[in-house]
Structure 1
């Protein structure tokens, strides 16, 4: 009797799992890379209502702000990280992946096209500790280089701080440099 129960349970689970794979493939999204968008979106409800202190430096001019963002505002704040998601069907085989106990690294293969050149996830005791990315957008008239680092608190696993550095260069113009350093309390 126990064997029949075990086999029927296994059959039901495998059917459910295969159905979920069908629905994932129907969406056309490959999820073989670290799901940065889903990861960050899942952290937002936890930090909603917390204080955000930001230092913004635009071309050498500093500004400091303090705010308590709602969920929608957090999505805008962390948009650079959401945009760094590489789980798109068109990028399914565009990245080489290295894994170790402390790191998961996705790096764009030579000759492949993608804005995110490198995505690095750092682990501490099996939990995500830090996420960083390097992105580049360029054409003959414009280039934008972006580097982002998102640090999670080692005990609470909540978003603790993040930094965004962006340099934009337009032909016949001086480069614009933006640096955002933020902490969450």
Structure 2
């Protein structure tokens, strides 16, 4: 019985340890989250001037500012990252050219990112990413088309376009375009 008292805390300690991703996990897809995280650090440091144009329900608004919470601003792009161990067999990978790779969701998979296209320059630096996200359930449906452009490895523009629709309503289209100077 005395041995059990010493053994129980040890078993509980190891049972509560969370499994870690293996160090040898090779990312199968483009590391969008890594790119966005690096951009957030750079943009928070440099505080560039940004022009944002938003259209929501046919109402236009323009904002020119340097005060942007980049983590919140680019959160949807982080959510579009498909480079997760659980998704390794979820996408078809098509190499369209030496500079363009597309990822298409396999039939039967139920993930928000339906399609992603990554375009790089001759040196392998990101030029453009385009992704289509779809969320649908019995209460609502939304589609978002994300576009991100980069020059010399730095974020230069992004756009989020799509719609949201509640089950008893009309689609509400929106479009946000930002130019980073």
CA distance in 2, matches of 1:33, 1:25: 17
- Give the alignment's Cα RMSD to 1 decimal: 2.1
Match for residue 41 of structure 1 among 25, 34, 37? 37
The structure number with the bigger radius of gyration is 2
Paired residues in the alignment total 159
Q: Which has the higher helix share?
A: 1
Q: TM-score, normalization: structure 2?
A: 0.81
CA distance in 1, matches of 2:98, 2:43: 27
Post-superposition CA distance 1:83-135 (Å, at most 9, x none): 10112233221001112312111110111111000111011212210011001
SS of equivalent residue, structure 1 residue 75: helix
CA distance in 1, matches of 2:67, 2:21: 32
SS of equivalent residue, structure 1 residue 25: coil
CA distance in 1, matches of 2:103, 2:168: 34
Post-superposition CA distance 1:38-92 (Å, at most 9, x none): 111112222231111100100100001122135xx11111111111011223322
CA distance in 2, matches of 1:30, 1:113: 23
Correspondences of 1:66-85 after superposition (within 5 Å): 66-69=64-67, 73-85=69-81
1:31 shift after superposition: 2.2
Give the equivalent residue in structure 2 for 1:108: 105
Alignment of 1:160 with 2:164, yes or no, is no
* Structure 1 segments (4+ residues) deviating >3 Å: none
Give the equivalent residue in structure 2 for 1:124: 121
Give the equivalent residue in structure 1 for 2:165: 169
1:23 shift after superposition: 5.8
**Mind listing any 5+ residue stretches in structure 2 that lack a counterpart?**
1-18
CA distance in 2, matches of 1:163, 1:93: 28
Q: TM-score, normalization: structure 1?
A: 0.79
